[in-house]
Amino acid sequence: MRRALVAANWKMHGSKALVDELVDRLVAGLGQGLNAVDIAICPPAPYLQQVQELARGSELLLGAQNVHGENSGAFTGEVSAAMLADFDVRFVLVGHSERRNLFAEDDLLVARKFAAVSGQGQIPVLCVGESLQEREAGQAETVVQEQLEAVLAHCGVGAFADAVIAYEPVWAIGTGRTASPEQAQAMHASIRGILAQHDKELAEKTRIVYGGSVKADNAAQLFAQADIDGGLIGGASLDATAFIQICNSVS
């Protein structure tokens, strides 16, 4: 039985005032009933400590949106996994499509980040997903397979023991156009199948979450699919009421 995960990716949104209000409301609204689901908040890096302090004593877990592949060094502007560990960060997104597309992160860089996160004992959340053009060309599964195999080749299947995979079709991110439960389930099953070729037991245990326009009114249907183990939530996670409803949609 895989434990569900619902993670909030706030992206580059927020302010001290908004973080205060949002986390207070989440702590109040998610105080109970978290037994079946891990809930993580990935704020922009400057607010990690603020979220850590506000969430202390609650079951909310902390996540980060990005990381550098080295633990320290002359990398102006970057943040290492070791630094994130100082703030009790448990989950770190790697390979989000916005990082791949807007910041030119390639598979090797993503794999290095993945390794750095595992190396700190944190949980990498490897984001994979195809563009609309790739889906329409019938290449969705191949593209996702390549993204996954690149990290498997660099890090080894053992590094996935505790990892999470987030399937986020690029065409569904921030567009209001969600993958249908059937489309998402098919890709999740395909991802699990790829993992199973490397390690059957591990594939059964690996959490695969869906991201891309998950809202309060479509979460339950998505999360009810056999291979969908929760969600990675962008826009709707900035609305406490909607995010709480999404968390409560895990059956």
Q: Are 66 and 99 in contact (CB under 8 A)?
A: yes
- Using alpha carbons, select from 248, 25, 207 the residue that is nearest to residue 125: 207
DSSP element (H, E) containing 48: helix 48-55
In the complex, least distance from residue 225 CB atom to ligand 13P, rounded to whole angstroms: 17
Torsion of CA 66, 96, 15, 230, to 10 degrees: -110
**Least distance (Å) from ligand 13P to the CB of residue 231?**
8
Residues 62-91 that bind ligand 13P (CB under 6 A): none
Distance from chain centroid for Cα 1: 19
Using an 8 Å Cβ cutoff, are 128 and 191 in contact?
yes
Q: Provide the 8-state DSSP code for 68.
A: B
Q: Does 173 bind ligand 13P (CB under 6 A)?
A: yes
Site string for ligand 13P, 209-248 (x = CB under 6 A): --xxxx-----------------xxxxx------------
CB of 105 to ligand 13P, least distance (A): 14
* Residue nearest to ligand 13P according to CB distances in the complex: 234
Minimum Å gap between C-beta 238 and ligand 13P is: 9
CA torsion sign for 122, 225, 217, 33 is negative
Phi and psi at residue 170, to the nearest 5°: -60, -35
φ, ψ dihedrals at 60, nearest 5° = -65, 135
**One of 107, 168, 227, 229 touching ligand 13P (CB under 6 A):** 168
Cβ-based nearer residue to ligand 13P, 212 or 230: 212
Nearest partner of 8 among 22, 20, 21, judged by Cα: 22
Does residue number 208 form part of the binding site for ligand 13P (CB under 6 A)?
no
168 is catalytic: yes
249 part of the interface to ligand 13P, by CB under 6 A: no
Stretch that binds ligand 13P, among 47-55, 78-86, 166-174, 187-195 (CB under 6 A): 166-174
Residue with tokens 């390979």, as numbered in its chain: 95
Let me know if 96 is a catalytic residue.
yes
Q: Which of 68, 96, 105, 188 is catalytic?
A: 96
Say how far apart CA 57 and CA 64 lie, in whole Å: 19
Q: Which of residues 12-41 bind ligand 13P (CB under 6 A)?
A: none
- The residues annotated with a catalytic role in the active site are 96, 168
Could you list the residues that contact ligand 13P (CB under 6 A)? 9, 96, 168, 173-174, 211-214, 232-236
